[in-house]
Amino acid sequence: MARVIIHEAKGPIEIKVGNETRRICRCGLSKNQPFCDGSHMKTLDEQEGKLYKYDANGKRSEAKLL
Ligand code: FES
């Protein structure tokens, strides 16, 4: 089974856990969920009004809404 989830964030949210700061992925591309692994850098040049999909290797292509 597969599902499509749309993420619009292009970076993580930082939370404090005790004395440590954790970066939580909001882009959906991290291979280390729920933590950010820097993969959001691939989203920085996405254009407004376009929809993209990323394959398992992180390769991006433009998608169409059904
Ligand atoms: S916010 Fe998703 S990898 Fe950084």
Q: Which atom of ligand 1 is nearest to the CA of 37?
A: 3
- Separation between Cα atoms, residue 27 and residue 53, nearest integer Å: 12
At 17-30, the pLDDT tens digits run: 999 999 999 999 99
Q: Which atom of ligand 1 is nearest to the CA of 28?
A: 2
- Binding-site residues, ligand 1, Cβ < 6 A: 11-12, 25-27, 29-30, 36-40
Confidence of residue 66 (pLDDT cuts 50, 70, 90): low
Which contacts (CB < 8 Å, 24+ apart) does range 56-63 have?
58/29
Average confidence score pLDDT of the chain: 94
Which pLDDT score is estimated for 2? Answer: 84
